[in-house]
Structure 1
Amino acid sequence: MTKVRKPENPLIAYDFLLNTTHWTLQGKGGVGKSFISSVLAQYAVERGLVPVCGDTDPVNSTFHRISALNVQLVPITEGGTVIQRLFDPLFEAILCTEQVSIVDNGASTFLPVAKFISSNMILETMQEYGKQVYIHSVVTGGQAKDDTVTGLLSMIELVRKSKTNTKIVVWENEFWGIPEFDGKALSVMPWVTANSDIIQGVVKIEDRNSDAYSTDIRLLTENHMTCREFKESDKFGFIAKSRVNRVFESLYAELDRVFGYVPEV
């Protein structure tokens, strides 16, 4: 991860995300972590920033494969084993840039990363050096619901123990089922409402009940494309491009709300 300059002609005022770092952390695989990381990176670009992006997943480096986002693959394994000391350069790089940084972490590295963050007081160090940390954790419905909730609760505990200003953004991914608990929505669950001082907000990835939308997003991810690339490609029709754009614009609006950002008109 290298330091990059601010864009000479930002699309919009970009300072609301400067000096922030965003880590996608969830112990359950296949629930949309890399997609979330890509949305965050594209959101930063659309808000006038040049994000610094890293992928620590040694198994499924999906985020790294999106070439338009210039995601650097961060080596954290030796001989197939996660080596904690290899995390040092990653967090050093985050501390050395004022640009917004986004790091995607795979399910296989979730426990080692969480352990490293805790035992090396990484959140405390980030705060000491003026870096605002946002941990992004996804919760989904279906068979993965309980596992994703467990992952979120572990992140809440990690932040709570650190006694820092670290914030958690919860992503409610409906594509694997709407996460409901005895008929109640995720946003009103006690472990969400009781931690409102830690949880920055909830971003909903809406299931639009249409195979057309899910197919288009699958094509976008399988081709390792950004929304902008998808819209500019001659491989897809105008209607498909409109659907993908609608999904991303909705997610950008959700992120604007969560971060309290009002785009200039």
Structure 2
Amino acid sequence: MPKTMKQEQTLNALAAFFANTSHFILQGKGGCGKSLKASVLTQYFQSRGCAPICGDTDPVNSTFHQIRDLNVQLVPITDGGAVVQRLFDPLFETLMTVEQVTVIDNGASTFLPIAKYISTNYVLEALQQAGKQVFIHCVVTGGQAKDDTVTGLLSMIDLVKKSKSNAKIVVWENEFWGIPEFNGKPLAEMPWFKDNSDVIQGLVKIIDRNSDAFSTDIRIMTEKHLTLRQVMDSEQFGVMSKSRLYRVFNDIYSDLDRVFNVPSE
């Protein structure tokens, strides 16, 4: 259905709102859903009128790159099987020059190298000087990976604070492996979370709906490397599956609108 003039104006305004923002998915724990978050984040920006430039630096499990509908570029950062920090240079030089919103996914194997590169090369400060607003998206889960993902989040908070830049952290609370609680308290009520509110932009929740139907739909969509648009156009997904996935995405989009303080119409 063609968009009305008002809808076009709204999308153009949102695209301008998100222009010159750079988004990094960073978490040292593997298997916590980083690539899914990168995919959802990219689709969110598309739904808000943006044309994101996307990159995947994971040389082992380039899941984000495999989502063909998002046109994700695979960023070569290895030489002879080893991660080479100087190979990050072209990526960050590109980020400093483009005006579109950018989304960069990073695997567990590249977490430490890219974090070290960002720190030693003063990347956050350089991006700020280039007129970019940086957001680091970090996933926290429940279950066995809880402590490891919290450690990853704390290291990103420390990275941002030491940079003295205006970079912000967006925390994604993934409940599919259990709700991350600490002595019965939710993540957002932890003293160390509240004490770092100056660098934490906000919290996005991936809700566990206590239904195998929702988790199965998400798993199938992920395994097939599909976007929500492709799901909605596919005959392989029934009406109920499409409805469930739409609800998941819509809830996340609403959280992201709140986190980014998206202006209302």
Q: Which of the five TM-score ranges fits, normalised by the shorter chain?
A: over 0.9
- In the other structure, the counterpart of 1:84 is 85
- 1:221 partnered with 2:241: no
User: Identity over the aligned pairs, expressed in percent?
Assistant: 65
- In the other structure, the counterpart of 1:54 is 55
- In the other structure, the counterpart of 2:98 is 97
Q: What letter corresponds to residue 173 of structure 1 in structure 2?
A: N
Shift of 1:13: 3.1
Q: 3-state DSSP class of the match of 2:15?
A: coil
Shift of 1:14: 1.7
- In the other structure, the counterpart of 1:4 is none
- 1:207 partnered with 2:208: yes
Provide Cα deviations, 1:22-71, integer angstroms capped at 9, x if missing partner. Answer: 00000000001000000110000000010000000000000000001000
Shift of 1:262: 3.8
> Structure 1 residues 236 and 263 mapped into 2: Cα distance closer, same or farther (>3 Å)?
farther
TM-score normalised per structure 1: 0.95
Shift of 1:180: 0.1
* Partner Cα distance (1:16, 1:169) in 2: 17
Bigger drift between 253-262 and 48-57 goes to: 253-262
- In the other structure, the counterpart of 2:179 is 178
Would you identify which runs of 4 or more consecutive aligned residues in structure 1 move more than 4 Å?
7-12
- 1:38 partnered with 2:39: yes
Q: What letter corresponds to residue 179 of structure 1 in structure 2?
A: P
- In the other structure, the counterpart of 1:110 is 111
Provide Cα deviations, 1:200-254, integer angstroms capped at 9, x if missing partner. Answer: 0000000000000000000110000001111110111000000000000000000
Provide Cα deviations, 1:121-166, integer angstroms capped at 9, x if missing partner. Answer: 0011011111100000000000000000000000000000000100
Is this contact kept in 2: 1:12–1:263, CA < 8 A? no
Shift of 1:167: 0.2
Is this contact kept in 2: 1:54–1:74, CA < 8 A? yes
- In the other structure, the counterpart of 1:159 is 160
- In the other structure, the counterpart of 1:193 is 194
Q: 3-state DSSP class of the match of 1:15?
A: helix
- 1:13 partnered with 2:26: no
Shift of 1:9: 9.7
Q: What letter corresponds to residue 166 of structure 1 in structure 2?
A: A
Q: What letter corresponds to residue 173 of structure 2 in structure 1?
A: E
Q: What letter corresponds to residue 131 of structure 2 in structure 1?
A: G
Provide Cα deviations, 1:180-209, integer angstroms capped at 9, x if missing partner. Answer: 000000001111100111000000000000
More helix by share: 2
* Partner Cα distance (1:263, 1:62) in 2: 33
For structure 1, the 5+ residue unaligned runs are 1-6
Task: Say what the alpha-carbon RMSD is for the aligned residues.
Answer: 1.4
* Partner Cα distance (2:237, 2:263) in 1: 32
Q: What letter corresponds to residue 26 of structure 2 in structure 1?
A: L
Shift of 1:8: 10
- 1:238 partnered with 2:245: no
TM-score normalised per structure 2: 0.95
Is this contact kept in 2: 1:27–1:151, CA < 8 A? yes
